[in-house]
Structure formats: structure tokens, C-alpha cells
Structure 1
Amino acid sequence: MSEIITISGSTAKLSGSEQVLKYFGTLLNDKQLSVTHISVKDIPYQDLFEMNVNNPKIKQIIALIQNARGVLIGSPVYKGAYSGVLKALIDLLPQDALKHKPILPIMTGGSPSHLLALEYTLKPLLATLKGHNLKGLYLLDEYIDKQKKMPIINEETLQRAKKQLDYFSELVKLT
């Protein structure tokens, strides 16, 4: 069983939000936490579109999420909200799939004006699944280098992110 699940809601081949999630996964591994990465790109789109919960891959993903001790979930901002394909995945989850789990929501975007997408779209969605939302992170695209193993290139942003990740890992260890 993975203690931590990271969920990427990006469909881009090289995604800033997905690179950040993978980097955070390595930092959590360094804290002796096991991490499994899930991407919406790994799910057969036809089954996702048709909400085929009998697909073995979808069943496995649902089980991983339900059995996790904590979840990091990330998405780029599209039209002022999280990606539609991420919402399609979340719609497959049982109503209490995130119950009592610490959740670290992460969004990336090209403008500071999209900051509120985290507060007004992603966090309320995760709350409907009874997750314990942490403050969350909004990262500007200009502070992410998708080509690097450590993709957050702005030092202040990196320290803020690590602080949130430390708090998240402490909560996971308490559950």
C-alpha cells in the first residue's frame, strides 16, 4: 500500500504541475514515505469519459486513493479552474474517498490572477470528498522549469512549497 498518492490532472506531455508533483514525491520518499504517482494520462480516455468503474485500471486507482494516508493533487489552471479530465477522475471516486486524509492541493498557472482558482474551485471539490485540505500551493509557470528534476526555480517559492510539504508529511505520519 502506498502511503501517499500524487494525482496529476494535466494532459500535457511535459507538464509543470506534474513535474512538481513528481519532485514532491521524491522529497516524500526521502522522508521514508512510499509514493505512487497517478496521472489522468494513464487512464484509458474512453473508460474515463464513459465513467467505466469496472475497468481494472480505474478500480486500481480508486483503491489506491481510498487506501492512501495522504494525497497530493495537482492541476494546471484552465479557464479559471482545474482541468476537466481531473474532474472526470474525481467523479469516479466514492463520496468519502478522501475522508480524514490530509490533502495538499497544488495548482499552476501563468498569471497571479488565477490564484483564487485554488480556493474557489479545487479545494471545495476536494472538500466534497471529505478530505482535510491544507493551505495548498499556487505556483506561477515562470517559477517552474519543466526540464529540471527540481522544477521550482524560484527560491522563495521553493521554501514555501517545502514548508507545506513538511506539514503535510507530519500529518500523514500522525494518521
Structure 2
Amino acid sequence: MATVLSVSGSPSATSSTARLLRHLDARLAGRGHTVVPLDVRTLPAEALLRADVGHPAVAGALDLFAAADGVVIGTPVYKAAYSGLLKSLLDLLPQYALAGKTVLPLATGGSTAHVLAIDYALRPVLSSMGADHITQGWFVLDRHITVSADGTLTVDAADAEALGAVVDQFAAALETHAPVAVHG
């Protein structure tokens, strides 16, 4: 099965975006994929802002992208675009860092006015980075994500069904485009 890098571009430690991604990671893992979570907020801010690709934490993040067969990119939407934190990491990746990879873009936000941020802000960047296949993404309103006191995440029924479908499409694309092992 494939290795999936699940990237949260949220700057918040209590992010609904990150929690949603970790929830969806379990669905991918249930299909047999290895899922590696990456919360960009855990990378050193100074290294990101200085574009220090030699910093061990940043170099490690870049290695995770290189090793992944697929990438889930999750971001909150601010000012009709993906987060600046996510942009700071994407800017450090090599130009064609997503070449040969299947990518699933996801976004969360407070208003349906931002629903097109995936297609008009994030998708062009992912495409320019050489993504082999960008699957249908999904936008979830913050108010449709609930976290209970015990940390259990619940997604509004309509969004849960749609998210399940886009994650399953992403998984199917990974399984169809799985790398071929060369034996020699």
C-alpha cells in the first residue's frame, strides 16, 4: 500500500483542520495505507521564515514529502486563501516536489464565501508543483466540526458523507497509481 503524508497547515494547537485530518488519517490507515502526520506549526518558525532547508526539522519535513506516494493537504482558509504557514512550507519544497504524487486538498473555514479557495488558491499551487493527480477536494465549515470533551471528533452528516467519498476517491487513486516495485 501507499505512504500518505497528511499535512496540516493550521497555526493553531486546537485546530479543527488538524483534528479533521487526523480523523481522516484513520480512514486511510483502515484501507491499509501508512499515514504520516505533519503539523506545520510544529516546525521552527525561524527556520521556515528564513527558508533554512538545512535545519534538521525542515529537512526532515522535506524528506517526508519526497518519501510519500500521496499527500493530503489540509488548511484553514484565511482571507480567501490557504494559510500563510502552509505557504511558508510549500515555498521551501523543490519546484516539482509533488511530481508523481496523488494529492487531496482539504480546507476548513468559517463561511461558505471561502468554498472556492481550494480551486482558486490551493489547487494551482499544487499543480505547479507537479502533482501527478489532484483529486476532488472538500471544504468543511468550522461549525460542522464538533470536538467533544473526550476529544472525539464529529462531522456534520452531510459533510461526513462527502468527506468519506473524497477520501475514498483519493485512496482509490493511490491504489491505481501505486508505485511498481522493481525486483532485480
TM-score computed with the length of structure 1 as normaliser? 0.95
In 2: Cα distance, 1:69 partner to 1:111 partner? 32
Q: CA deviation at 1:142?
A: 1.1
1:158 aligned residue: 160
Q: CA deviation at 1:150?
A: 3.3
In 1: Cα distance, 2:135 partner to 2:16 partner? 21
Identity percentage of aligned residues: 33
8 Å CA contact retained: 1:66, 1:97: yes
Q: How many residue pairs were aligned?
A: 174
1:11 aligned residue: 11
In 2: Cα distance, 1:137 partner to 1:158 partner? 11
Please give the residue correspondences for 1:21-60 in structure 2 after superposition, counting only pairs within 5 Å: 21-60=21-60
2:143 aligned residue: 142
In 1: Cα distance, 2:19 partner to 2:154 partner? 7
What 5-or-longer segments of structure 1 have no aligned partner? none
Please give the residue correspondences for 1:68-107 in structure 2 after superposition, counting only pairs within 5 Å: 68-107=68-107
TM-score computed with the length of structure 2 as normaliser? 0.90
8 Å CA contact retained: 1:15, 1:146: no
Q: CA deviation at 1:48?
A: 0.5
Say what the alpha-carbon RMSD is for the aligned residues: 1.4
Q: What is the SS of the residue equivalent to 1:75?
A: strand
Letter in 1 for 2:85: V
Deviation per CA, 1:66-111, whole angstroms, max 9, x where unpaired? Answer: 1101010011011110011110000110111111211110010111
In 2: Cα distance, 1:55 partner to 1:149 partner? 35
2:129 aligned residue: 129
2:181 aligned residue: none
What 5-or-longer segments of structure 2 have no aligned partner? 179-184
Q: CA deviation at 1:57?
A: 1.2
- Could you say if the C-alpha distance between residues 49 and 112 of structure 1 is closer, same or farther in structure 2, counting changes exceeding 3 Å? same
Higher Cα radius of gyration: 2
8 Å CA contact retained: 2:41, 2:85: no
8 Å CA contact retained: 1:4, 1:70: yes
In 2: Cα distance, 1:25 partner to 1:149 partner? 14
In 2: Cα distance, 1:53 partner to 1:85 partner? 15
1:172 aligned residue: 174
2:64 aligned residue: 64
Letter in 1 for 2:143: E
Q: What is the SS of the residue equivalent to 2:167?
A: helix
In 2: Cα distance, 1:20 partner to 1:32 partner? 19
In 1: Cα distance, 2:153 partner to 2:84 partner? 27
